[in-house]
Amino acid sequence: MATSRMKARNDQIEQKIANGREKRNELRNKMKDVNLPLDEKLKISEQLQKRSRDESPTRLSLRCSSCGRVHGVYRRFKLCRICIRENIALGYMPGVTLDSW
């Protein structure tokens, strides 16, 4: 299970991504410009590399909103498979039933 520190770290990374998204996208769009000379593209590349790693959206992991688990998280519910099963058993998800074999 995830500790509260892991959840807090994930929240901090979300904030950094939100704060740096505009500048990062601006630099990435400049890099894609075909008309820019190579030396300017290298300068832009250096600027991108100097930015914080945590600003990159790939650093964010999808966590269960209930328990903080990383693996087996359904995007639609933002819950892990275990929490979904618990919620279904308690009747919190109407229209969904548990299968028993």
Q: Give the model's pLDDT for residue 54.
A: 83
Q: Give the model's pLDDT for residue 40.
A: 92
CA–CA separation, 100 and 6 (whole Å): 34
Other CB atoms within a 10 A radius of the CB of residue 71 amount to 10
Q: Give the model's pLDDT for residue 68.
A: 86
CA angle (83 as vertex; 88, 77 as ends), nearest 5: 80
**What residues are paired with 79 via a beta bridge?**
74
Report yes or no: 10 and 61 within 8 Å, Cβ to Cβ.
Answer: yes
CA–CA separation, 99 and 23 (whole Å): 48
Q: Is 0.85 topped by the overall pTM? A: no
Q: Is 79 helix (H, G, I), strand (E, B) or coil?
A: strand
What string of pLDDT tens digits covers the 101 residues of the chain?
567 888 888 888 889 999 988 999 999 999 898 898 999 999 999 999 898 888 888 888 888 988 889 999 999 999 999 999 999 988 898 888 777 76
Of all helices (H) and strands (E), which one includes residue 80? strand 79-80
